[in-house]
Amino acid sequence: MGQEPAWQVQDAKQRLSELLRKAAAEGPQFVTRHGEEVAVVLDISYYRQLTGVEFELDFKAALSGARQDEDELADALDEIVAQRRADLPREVEMGVDG
């Protein structure tokens, strides 16, 4: 394999649109800092092909897909809130010195 396309961080920031176009058209684009590779920009279809991940951000599905331990935490918090409601309202003394 030949020389990999490399972009210094500053150039990548200033020419982001071009970097994205090249990633789509030419393949992975490497970003360097002080001559060391720190990141790679991939076209999303290539990323999905590499990882086998077909995901589409579905906010509603993400929120409804809570894990069991998160459900237990939510139940515990609901119980605490219900208990606190029995304590409310409270009288607050506003002391005035003098």
Domains defined along the chain, listed by start: 6-87 (3.40.1620.10)
Which ranges constitute the DSSP H helices of the chain?
9-14, 16-26, 44-51, 59-64, 68-87
pLDDT in tens, 44-97: 889 888 887 765 555 555 566 655 456 666 777 777 776 666 666 667 777 776
Give the predicted TM-score (pTM) of the model.
0.52
**What is the chain's length?**
98
Q: CA angle, 41 as apex, 23 and 54 as ends, to 5°?
A: 90
Rounded CA-CA distance 39/6 in Å is 10
Rounded CA-CA distance 5/24 in Å is 13
